[in-house]
Amino acid sequence: MSYKLLLGVTGSIAIYKSLYLLRLLQDEGFELDVILTPSATKFIQPLTFEGLLRKKVFIDFLDSYPAGSDHVDLASTHDLMVIAPATAKTISSLATARPDNFLVATALGFPPERVIIVPAMEEGFWNHPATQKNINSLKGYGYHIMEPVEGRLASGKTGKGRMPEPRDILEFIFEVLTPKSKKPYTAIITTGPTREHIDPVRFISNASSGKTGVLLARELAFRGNEVILVAGPNVPSFSHRLVRRIDVISAEEMFNAVKEHWHKADVFIGAAAVSDYMPIEKYGSKIKKDKDLLTLTLKRTPDILKWVGENKGENQVVVGFALETDLSPQEAYKKLLRKNVDIGVYNRIGNDFVPFGSDYNSIVLMTRKDFKFFENVSKEDLAKILADAIENIY
């Protein structure tokens, strides 16, 4: 879905980040307009924004713009307004409904829940009781506040007040735009590979990147759900206030983490590529390369999905992934049903496509009602598809 976004920029040294944010938003397909306060133009000329935007920016009430392009129309024709950076003065004006410039007047025309405010200021300004009173008032009205971060400030000092990085602001925008779950839940997601060590330097594993599980955690958290992310080695980092990450190495460690938390979760998503076998004997030191043949005896690792299905409560939902080279979706789903799975996700791997590490995938979403086929879909979109499927039965 394409969104129309109004970017408001106020007079702060952090304004240079707004240019990068503008470019990121363009890359994501947002339709954009920009408002600068008069003080913002003292830091960066409007022409710089206009060069990237390829259209005029808005600055003042008296500027000559096409008829109807006033602050009221701007508020009614955009899905979201983002003020980044937002100075202490702008925050004060919004909190007291004082339309002392074109940007604030436009922002006041938006419903508060459609405005994101990204403060940037010195730590003393941020911690001042008046600023905190204004921030709390704005939160109470429904504005979305992305708090500043710790870092080096314009004064050269280090403290809280630095504008977050543009990519983090972009993530916050996506979260605000994500529809929230009507019935929030707690989900356990396993993701990535496991490693079953043979000796201190060698192990049995696979090429899973963990991208799918991380994107699922992101989507569920953006919808307001709590997530316990049990991640194997080298899974990409992702932090969110609703996501608790547990890093593991082996299938046994992953199994123990799931067992510890399943009783307090509502949904389980088994997206990890768990090693099926582990060495019976793990060598304490590196195996010497002094033989032409080396025989390893392996045993089965714990079947995490089977255990979860056997210990599923009446209102708990289980989602299982099936990565196959020769089974049909129907055969794979029968296999998953034996493990008491509610939703199955079928991945077929072959010479023409390997889903590990890819940004795209082709799956079959399988339920007791029907099978739905999704070809060459981004993993971000697949996360949305699966989140919708969970909410349909939870």
pLDDT in tens, 193-206: 999 999 999 999 98
Query: Do 332 and 282 share a domain, yes or no?
Result: yes
**pLDDT one-digit tens code per residue, 333-356:** 888 899 999 999 988 775 565 566
Query: Is the pLDDT at 367 greater than 70, yes or no?
Result: yes
Question: Last residue of a domain, which of 157, 177, 197?
Answer: 177
Mean pLDDT of the chain: 92
Question: Last residue of a domain, which of 123, 156, 177?
Answer: 177
Residue whose entry in the numeric block shows the structure tokens 């950076």: 85
Domain ranges, residue 110 = 4-177
190: amino acid identity, one letter: T
79: amino acid identity, one letter: D
Query: Do 163 and 192 share a domain, yes or no?
Result: no
Give 166's DSSP letter: H
Query: Do 192 and 298 share a domain, yes or no?
Result: yes
Query: Do 124 and 218 share a domain, yes or no?
Result: no
User: What is the structure's pLDDT at 68?
Assistant: 47
Q: Are 76 and 109 in contact (CB under 8 A)?
A: yes
* pTM higher than the cut 0.95: no
Query: Average pLDDT in the 42-51 region?
Result: 96
- Catalytically annotated residues: 206
Overall number of domains in the chain: 2
Query: Do 234 and 370 share a domain, yes or no?
Result: yes
CATH of the domain at 56: 3.40.50.1950
Query: Do 117 and 222 share a domain, yes or no?
Result: no
Query: Do 130 and 249 share a domain, yes or no?
Result: no
CATH of the domain at 321: 3.40.50.10300
Helix then strand then coil, in percent of the chain rounded to 5, is: 35, 25, 40
User: What is the structure's pLDDT at 71?
Assistant: 73
**Residue 88: enclosing H or E segment and its boundaries?**
helix 88-95
Q: Which of 87, 85, 30, 81 is nearest to 53 (CA)?
A: 30
Q: Are 262 and 308 in contact (CB under 8 A)?
A: yes
User: What is the structure's pLDDT at 90?
Assistant: 97
User: What is the structure's pLDDT at 227?
Assistant: 98
Question: Last residue of a domain, which of 122, 143, 177?
Answer: 177
Query: Is the pLDDT at 63 greater than 70, yes or no?
Result: no
Distance (Å, whole) CA 47 – CA 53: 9
User: What is the structure's pLDDT at 238?
Assistant: 92
Query: Does residue 287 or residue 186 have the better pLDDT?
Result: 186
Query: Do 171 and 271 share a domain, yes or no?
Result: no
Query: Do 250 and 148 share a domain, yes or no?
Result: no
Q: How many CB atoms lie within 10 A of CB 328?
A: 12
pLDDT above 70 as % of the chain: 96
Max CA separation in the chain (angstroms): 85
CA dihedral 164, 166, 170, 176 (to 10 degrees): 30
User: What is the structure's pLDDT at 22?
Assistant: 98
Distance (Å, whole) CA 11 – CA 120: 10
Query: Do 155 and 16 share a domain, yes or no?
Result: yes
Query: Do 374 and 230 share a domain, yes or no?
Result: yes
Query: Do 290 and 363 share a domain, yes or no?
Result: yes
pLDDT category, 279, cuts 50, 70, 90? very high
Distance (Å, whole) CA 51 – CA 45: 10
User: What is the structure's pLDDT at 69?
Assistant: 53
**pLDDT one-digit tens code per residue, 320-335:** 998 877 778 888 888 8
Ramachandran region, residue 132 (left: φ > 0; alpha: ψ -120 to 50; beta: rest): alpha
Query: Is the pLDDT at 210 greater than 60, yes or no?
Result: yes
User: What is the structure's pLDDT at 323?
Assistant: 80
Query: Is the pLDDT at 62 greater than 70, yes or no?
Result: no
